[in-house]
Each structure stands twice: as C-alpha cells, then as structure tokens.
Structure 1
Amino acid sequence: MVKTKAPATSPSTRKAPAPIPGCRNLAVSSEVNASVTRAYRRGFPLFVHIEPVPHRFFYGECGAVRYASAQFRATTGATQGELVNMQDEGSAAKYFRADSGADWIYIASDSYPASPHGCGDIPQIPRALAAAWGNCAVAH
C-alpha cells in the first residue's frame, strides 16, 4: 500500500488563514464529517469502526470542487484486525475530493512520517488550498 501523509486539524484550533483567490477554507459540518468517513470506508472496507481524529480534519473548496483531509482512529467495537491495521493506516492523513453534486472519493494518503511540507506536498491538493490550510499543520 502506497502512503503519503500529513497531520490535519480543524479550522477552530488555529488562526484563520488569509483568503486565497479561488480556494477557501470551510468549517467542517457533521454531514461533511460523515460523508468523508463513508468515503474512507468505501476505499478501505476493512475499517468499519472508525472516526476522524478531533482537530485533524481540514475542509475547503476550490471553485466547484471540495477537498478534505482527515486522520482516522478506531472506535469502540473495533476488531483486532482493525486495531492492528489502524496502527499503520491511522498514522497517515487521508485526502478526499468531491466534485459539485458528487460523492466524496479517496484520492491520496500522506506518508509516515509526514511529508516535510504537510499537505502542500500532496499533488492532488491544490497549492492554494494547502496554503489556506496552513499545510495541514497541527498545533501542539
């Protein structure tokens, strides 16, 4: 399995970035959270008992295309297989895309350890959006 990784965070845990023409950071709704989680489950059907890690979810759009970055963790009820596999997969941020009116699809994973420039190193994420997300940096 090929991985490409960057930690992620929610917009409420960091300073609001300056607006970037064509792309913008958005607040993550419960519907976006659930839709992106379903897309991850479709791409990785082994993971049933998962949820996004708090403060490691980014969401935004460039034109009519929406993008998300999330890191996932196992939840109550996870099987031994899920827990073991989540040790590797859970450590890497996942990236998703949804064209206007379409379902979310999985498009990439970050590496572990994270890429030096976070989501700015993920070619599937527009540079302007990665910049709006602060390259998916997580405050500690």
Structure 2
Amino acid sequence: MKAAVTAAYQRSFPRFAHIQPVPRQFFYGQCGGVRYAATRFESTPGATHEQLVGMQDEGSATKYFRSTSAGSWSYLASDGSPRGPHGCGDVPQIPETLAAAWGNCSVG
C-alpha cells in the first residue's frame, strides 16, 4: 500500500522520482467504505540536487490520499503552510472521525 500511495503522489508530482514515506509517519484507515492514507515523504538515494531542494518544503507537509473505486490511490491535498493547529483534522478532505482516530496525524 505504501508503494501505491507513493506512486499516486509521483503521478501528481513527477519531479519527485526518488521519495519514500517517512518511517513511522504513515496513517491508513477506512471511513464509509472509502480508504484514506496520509504521510510525509523523504528523499531516497538517487535524488538529484533539484529534487533534494524541492523536498525541503514538500517533505515537511503531510500529503493525503484516497482510494478510488477501482482500488488505486489518488492524491487529495497537502497540509497548509503553516500546518493547522489540528493537523489532519484541519484538512476538509479527511473525515473528522478518521482524523480523530489518527490523533490528527500527530507523531509526537
């Protein structure tokens, strides 16, 4: 699933070819029959200087995804800048009950 979510982000932002979810910061759940995921990304070996610079800002924002009816993942949104005080609870595309279950995407 992490690979499918990463691929969904790369389809939306192809300049980030060398990324992976940040360890222990991947959230997954289902609400109303729809699957959702949230993660931050970090660069992997092979990233160019341009990609590393781009991830300085992009890597600090949590990205949100939803599964489609066909089972593939699509990118929904990113955290605002600065991040809202309620984390993913401030992201309207994420159901409130799921954001609460995820602890508002806090990894403290």
Measured against the shorter chain, the TM-score band is over 0.9
Secondary structure of the residue that 1:78 maps to in structure 2? coil
- Rounded to whole Å, the distance in 2 between the matches of 1:34 and 1:102 is 13
Counterpart residue identity of residue 73, structure 1: E
Partner of 1:38: 7
Q: Give the corresponding residue for 1:75.
A: 44
Deviations 1:66-117 (A, max 9, x none): 0000000000010011001001111100000013433100000002332100
Determine if contact 1:64/1:99 at 8 Å carries over to the other structure. Answer: no
Matches within 5 A, 1:94-113: 94-113=63-82
**Are residue 50 (structure 1) and residue 33 (structure 2) matched?**
no
SS at match of 1:68: strand
Q: Would you say 1:135 and 2:107 are equivalent positions?
A: no
Residue identity (%): 63
Which residue of structure 1 lines up, in the alignment, with residue 83 of structure 2? 114
TM-superposition CA deviations, 1:18-68 (whole Å, max 9, x none) = xxxxxxxxxxxxxx1010000010011000010000011100001221000
Aligned partner of residue 26 in structure 2, secondary structure: strand
Instruction: Tell me, yes or no, if the aligned pair for 2:20 and 2:44 is still in contact at 8 Å.
Output: yes
Which runs of 5 or more residues in structure 1 are unaligned?
1-31
RMSD: 1.0
Alpha-carbon distance in 2 for matches of 1:112, 1:81: 21
User: Which gives a bigger RCO, structure 1 or 2 (Cα 8 Å, sep 6+)?
Assistant: 1
TM-score by length of 2: 0.95
Secondary structure (helix, strand or coil) at the match of 2:41 reads: strand
Larger Rg: 1
Aligned residues: 108
